């Protein structure tokens, strides 16, 4: 009996450890702007496979810091230029979900509805995200420069920190127009006066990817999710969210 009890205890401890490990799902850290899409994908993944991911959202600085320092993030989702270029995350593999699209959105009740309205001197203020840090702020600045609107349009530009802040200005009619990404515009379209997708040839490509970290604790599970993302059902969700 003296031998059986320690052995039984060891088996119980082992079982508990396995259960605890399996309870910790694979962590996907995503830019907050893609929360609606990622939640929908995760729900569909669970429906189709019985498995799900643990999700974490934030700005891209938070996402990359968490991925680099926590040791728990298996996958990241966001702009490739930021994830790989600026943050220099080490990825074992990656999958492009689609291209981020810049849009010009209009406040409800605004008489403006097209890109050429940017040139109307009577048009009011135009909001855009931070042109030095935000992906779509950089894209907006590039578009305005490439189309010859800068520097003449500068006095009417209102630079804010993020895409959600541009929408906040639009929703309170503090500006007539503002630059968003298509994913966000689709999420809030009922509270906009409309939007126009900017020609993608007018700014550098924005590649939205899912990357598997080199440090991913379960690469097989990550690969299973990447395979799921290639299914028609998952692709339909991705396209419906503006990528």
2, part of any domain: no
With respect to residue 121, please indicate whether it lies within any of the assigned structural domains. Answer: yes
Per-residue model confidence (pLDDT) at position 121: 86
**What's the confidence (pLDDT) of residue 71?**
87
Indicate if 44 and 111 belong to the same structural domain: no
211/95 same-domain check: yes
- Residue 163 maps to a domain: yes
Same domain for 87 and 173: no
> Domain residues for 148?
102-202
Please check whether residues 26 and 90 belong to one and the same domain: yes
Asked if residue 7 belongs to a domain, the reply is no
In a domain, 4, yes or no: no
What's residue 25's pLDDT?
Answer: 85
112 and 184 part of one domain: yes
Whether residue 52 lies inside any domain: the answer is: yes
For 43, 148, 191, 231, the CA distances from 210, given in Å and listed in that order, are 17, 34, 29, 15
132: in domain:
yes
Q: Is the pTM of this model over 0.95?
A: no
Q: What is the pLDDT of residues 117-148, one digit of tens each?
A: 999 988 989 999 999 999 999 999 999 999 99
Please name the helix (run of DSSP H) or strand (run of DSSP E) that holds residue 16, with its range, or none. Answer: helix 4-23
Contact 89, 65 (CB under 8 A): no
- Per-residue model confidence (pLDDT) at position 1: 37
- Considering its fold, how many domains does the chain have in total? 2
Closest to 84 measured CA to CA, from 186, 180, 209, 205: 209
CA–chain centroid gap for 22, Å, is: 27
163 contacts 181 by C-beta, under 8 angstroms: yes
Q: Residue 192 has what pLDDT?
A: 98
* Cβ count within 10 A of residue 240: 13
The 10 Å Cβ neighbour count of residue 225 is 23
Contact 75, 41 (CB under 8 A): no
Is the same domain home to 59 and 131? no
Beta bridge partners of 50: none
Low-confidence ranges of the chain (pLDDT < 70): 1-24
- In this structure, the answer to whether residues 116 and 187 fall within a common structural domain is yes
Identify the burial level of 93 via C-beta atoms within 10 angstroms of its C-beta, where 0-12 means exposed, 13-18 middle and 19 or more buried: middle
CATH number at 124 reads 3.40.190.10
- A 10 A CB-CB count for 109 gives 8
- Say how many CA atoms lie within 13 Å of 208 toward its Cβ: 26
- DSSP, collapsed to helix, strand or coil, labels residue 109 as coil
Instruction: Tell me how far apart the alpha carbons of residues 2 and 25 are, in angstroms, rounded to a whole number.
Output: 38
Note the pLDDT of residue 24: 60
Tell whether omega for the bond before 151 is within 30 degrees of 0, i.e. cis: yes
Q: Is residue 6 part of a domain?
A: no
Residues 42 and 95 in one domain: yes
């Amino acid at each position: 009996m003296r031998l059986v009890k320690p052995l039984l205890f060891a088996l119980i401890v082992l079982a508990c450890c396995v259960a605890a490990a399996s309870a910790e799902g694979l962590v996907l850290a995503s830019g907050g702007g893609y929360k609606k899409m990622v939640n929908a994908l995760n729900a569909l993944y669970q429906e189709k496979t019985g498995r799900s991911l643990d999700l974490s959202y934030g700005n891209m600085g938070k996402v990359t810091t968490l991925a680099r320092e926590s040791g728990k993030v298996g996958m990241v989702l966001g702009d490739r230029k930021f994830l790989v270029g600026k943050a220099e995350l080490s990825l074992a593999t990656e999958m492009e979900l689609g291209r981020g699209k810049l849009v010009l959105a209009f406040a409800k009740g605004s008489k403006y509805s097209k890109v050429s309205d940017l040139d109307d001197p009577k048009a009011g203020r135009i909001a855009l995200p931070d042109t030095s840090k935000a992906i779509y702020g950089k894209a907006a600045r590039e578009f305005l420069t490439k189309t010859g609107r800068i520097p003449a349009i500068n006095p009417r530009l209102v630079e804010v920190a993020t895409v959600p802040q541009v929408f906040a200005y639009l929703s309170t009619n503090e500006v007539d127009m503002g630059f968003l990404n298509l994913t966000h515009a689709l999420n809030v379209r009922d509270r906009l006066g409309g939007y126009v997708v900017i020609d993608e040839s007018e700014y550098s490509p924005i590649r939205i990817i899912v990357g598997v970290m080199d440090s991913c604790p379960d690469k097989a599970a990550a690969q299973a999710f990447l395979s799921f993302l290639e299914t028609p059902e998952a692709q339909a969700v991705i396209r419906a969210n503006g990528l």
